[in-house]
Amino acid sequence: MITAESIRKRLVKSFKAKPCRACEYSDKMIMDLLSVGLEAADPTVAVTRFISSDGRRIMLDEEGNRSIDISDGCYVIGFGKAVVGMMRGVLDRSEEYVKDGCIIVPKTRFIKADVEYLVNKGVEVLYGGFPLPNNDTINSSNRLLDFIMEIDEEETVIVLVSGGGSSLFEIPYENISLDELVKAYYTMMIHGLNVKERAVVKKHLSKVKGGRLASIIHPRRTVSLVLSSVFDDDISAVASGPTVPDLSTYEDAKNILVYYKLWRIMPTSIERTIMEGIEGLIPETPKPGEPIFDNVDNVIVGSGRIGLKMMRAYAESKGYNVFLLTSRFEGEAREVSKVIGALIEEVYKDNNPIEPPAVLLIGGETTVTLKGDGIGGRNQELLLPLISRIAGMHGVSIIAFNTDGRDGISPAGGAVIDGCTMHEALKYGLSIEDALERNDSYSFFDSLGRALITGDTGTDVNDYIIVLISI
């Protein structure tokens, strides 16, 4: 079973650098902070917070003012990187009221024991592709739709949704082949579109995204429990909002692709589908106010904001002054890096906006426009320009980590740097400029023993950027 302690052990084991004593202390503390943030994002805990102690009711808000009774039974479906833990939460609290369940998850050895637990409880566990859909995705998605159709229309369906759901649960329009869909997904990933922009396009190529799953489940009572991996908790973008009314249009999808100069390099079937939608030949995604949403509730059960608050409390308990900058950071990784670097210097040199010992907390998701052929990810790329900026600042450490444990196409979830990293890079003849030019951040950090490799964490609530200034 994935636990906060097991993840922390993997973090510590993967870190092999030998910095000075001051940096060694700050590196240890910053990894402790990250562990607190990951524990706060535990999907099992997140879900059980929204289920009554007797397991009979699902809360529809944090205060528990609204709820639905599931004591007559319910069916549970789900898809996403954190859905194994979310499903476990439902069973831990409400197993006697769950009639049947079916979920789609990525294949990973780290959740093997948890999957076995669910299977032994009678849950049908299917697999899909991540970060790109594959044949398993299509087959499992069709099976999930069959599962839904077998449920009586008077029943209640609980839908568990987390990040990664877009790739794990997908059925494109018939004229779009899997290869063409994968090319569209990949093209958007490498050209710097943020998660919300990608979601707009995906919704308009799919039979199940952008509220269309709600249409399929209708008239059954639907409650979606969502672990948010989107920087501003826009629930319509998590897994491309399968049960959420969609405000975007086919015209919006085209405009996004035109803006990024991708319209003419997309597969012909993608262009054709979007144009047919604009011309009214394909129905638009369901909009707010449509009757299919009358018996649908979408509830955010966990997000990066909760983790940031928990890390703040932990750091304050250790005597640090804490500045929680934002939970909604976005933008090109290298540009975000400049802002963070300026803030670090302000604190380090001028004691502004807080005095050391200090912790700066940031949540969100940056993007990277790929130009090189290296191996890396947005968090590791964000850290590269900061190495020279904090060089010689002993006792200053920075960690950037994707909470799902995967940063870009690398095996790492992120990396950690400190005031000694520049010296290490020079010692081993590593070039920051070359790593940036080739988008090869993982190779750089792996060579220094600073890549943080945890494998899948079982959760996904966006990225954490943590700065610790211990002087």
How much is the average pLDDT of 340-358? 96
Lowest-confidence segment of 254-258, 327-331, 443-447 by average pLDDT = 327-331
pLDDT band at 116 (very low <50, low <70, confident <90, very high): very high
pLDDT band at 1 (very low <50, low <70, confident <90, very high): low
pTM: 0.88
What are the tokens at 268?
């012909």
State the architecture of 4-40+321-469 in CATH terms: 3-Layer(aba) Sandwich (3.40)
Burial (CB < 10 A; 0-12, 13-18, 19+), residue 310, is: middle
Q: Which residues of 21-56 are buried (b: 16+ CB within 10 A; e: fewer)?
A: ebbbbbbebbbbbbbbbbbbbbbbbbbbebbbeebb
Tens of pLDDT, residues 44-54: 999 999 999 99
Tens of pLDDT, residues 375-394: 999 999 999 999 999 999 99
- Confidence check: pLDDT of 418 > 90: yes
Lowest-confidence segment of 168-177, 229-238, 316-325, 434-443 by average pLDDT = 229-238
- Confidence check: pLDDT of 110 > 70: no
- Confidence check: pLDDT of 231 > 80: no
Instruction: Give me the percent of the chain exceeding a pLDDT of 90.
Output: 89
Write the CATH number of the domain with boundaries 43-302. Answer: 3.40.50.10180
Q: Three-class SS string for the chain? A: CCCHHHHHHHHHHHCCCCCCHHHHHHHHHHHHHHHHHHHHCCHHHHHHCCECCCCCEEECCCCCCCEEECCCCEEEEEECCCHHHHHHHHHHHHHHHEEEEEEEEECCHHHHHHHHHHHHCCCEEEEECCCCCCHHHHHHHHHHHHHHHCCCCCCEEEEEEECCHHHHCCCECCCCCHHHHHHHHHHHHHECCCHHHHHHHHHCCECCCCCHHHHHHCCCEEEEEEECCCCCCCCCCHHHCCCCCCCCCHHHHHHHHHHCCCCCCCCHHHHHHHHHHHCCCCCCCCCCCCHHHCCEEEEEEECHHHHHHHHHHHHHHCCCEEEEEEEEEEEEHHHHHHHHHHHHHHHHHHCCCCCCCEEEEEEEEEECECCCCCCCCHHHHHHHHHHHHCCCCCCEEEEEEECCCCCCCCCCCEEEEECCHHHHHHHCCCCHHHHHHCCCHHHHHHHCCCEECCCCCCCCCCEEEEEEECC
Rounded Cα distance, 396 and 470, in Å? 6
Q: Where are the domains of the chain?
A: 4-40+321-469, 43-302
Lowest-confidence segment of 8-12, 18-22, 255-259 by average pLDDT = 8-12
Orientation of helix 378-389 relative to helix 333-350, angle to 10°? 40
- Confidence check: pLDDT of 191 > 70: yes
Tens of pLDDT, residues 448-457: 999 999 998 8
Tens of pLDDT, residues 80-106: 999 999 999 999 999 999 999 999 999
Amino acid at 171: I
Tens of pLDDT, residues 124-136: 999 999 989 999 9
pLDDT in the model for residue 111: 75
- Confidence check: pLDDT of 199 > 70: yes
Rounded Cα distance, 415 and 413, in Å? 7
